Amino acid sequence: MDKAAYDRYLAAFNARDYDAVLDFYADRFELSFLGYVFRTREDVRNFYAFLHAHVAEHIILTAFVSDERMVALEADVRLEGITDLTPEMTAAAGFPKLAPLARGQVITIPQLIHYHLEDGKIVRVLCAVFET
């Protein structure tokens, strides 16, 4: 996946176009994030639909390398509370590891993200989240 293709992927993610995002994934994939592992399109859609109902998320790419087998990048993930997201809400939705975020609160989280590719499609994603 070259930078232009990744820019299209990122634009779709930032636009919340989950179908376009998932078009970049193989039929069988694994997305690991915050101790969660998602293996179906439905699981990914459900997670992001819940998150984005409460949080405006924007990914800012800061470093990028790729070849035909992988993409590795550094990004700053900017999160802004659009409603209060409480621990009770995240637990009830099945995502208790998500940090609470108050309406109007903004945090930026640096991440390392590694994508494994097969035949140009994403088959595995590993996200490392760092606290600053």
- Give the residue from 114, 117, 84, 112 showing the smallest Cα distance to 98: 84
In the numeric block, the tokens 């499609």 are attached to 121
pLDDT tens column, 99-125: 899 999 999 999 999 999 999 999 999
The enclosing H or E element of 106 equals: strand 106-118
**Where residue 132 falls among pLDDT bands split at 50, 70, 90?**
low
- Give the residue from 29, 50, 51, 56 showing the smallest Cα distance to 40: 29
Q: What percentage of the chain reaches a pLDDT higher than 70?
A: 98
Residues 103, 79: Cα–Cα separation, whole Å: 11
pLDDT tens column, 70-104: 999 999 999 999 999 999 999 999 999 998 999 99
Q: Average model confidence (pLDDT) for the chain? A: 94
pTM equals 0.89
Residue 17: domain span: 3-129
Report the CATH number that the domain containing residue 43 is assigned in CATH. 3.10.450.50
Average pLDDT over residues 14-30: 95
Angle at 21 between CA 52 and CA 119, to 5 degrees: 150
| pLDDT score of 130 more than 90 | no
Alpha helices, DSSP H, located in 1-132 = 3-14, 18-22, 41-54, 87-92
Q: In this structure, is the dihedral angle defined by the CA atoms of residues 42, 47, 51 and 53, taken in order, positive or negative?
A: positive
pLDDT of residue 66: 97
| pLDDT score of 10 more than 90 | yes
Q: For the chain, what is the domain count?
A: 1
